[in-house]
Amino acid sequence: MSNASSVIDRKEADKHTNGVTRIGLIALASDPTVEAEFRRMLPADGAQFFVSRVYYANDCRAEQLRAMADRIGDAALLILPGQRLGS
C-alpha cells in the first residue's frame, strides 16, 4: 500500500496552486453519481475538482473492505500525480 499524506499546510499548498482551491475525491468505482453530486456542492469561485476511483466489489464483508483499504493510498496518488491539492 502506498502512503498519501492527508495533512495540508495552507501556505505550502498556496505556493503550488497559486491560491486556487483544489479538491480531491476518492470515489468507489461502482458509484456513477458521486462526481455530479460533489460538483453541485462546489463554490462558484472556480474551485478545481479532481477524482480518482478505487475498485469496490459491492461486497461489505470485512475482508472485502480490508482489500479496498489497501488500494486507497494508490488511488489518492492518482488524483494529481506529482501535484498538490489544497488551497
DSSP codes of every residue in 42-80: S-TTT-EEEEEEE---S--SHHHHHHHHHHHHHHHHTSS
Q: Is 32 helix (H, G, I), strand (E, B) or coil?
A: coil
> Tens of pLDDT along 15-73?
556 667 888 899 999 899 999 998 888 877 778 889 999 998 888 889 888 888 889 99
> Tens of pLDDT along 8-30?
455 555 555 666 788 889 999 98
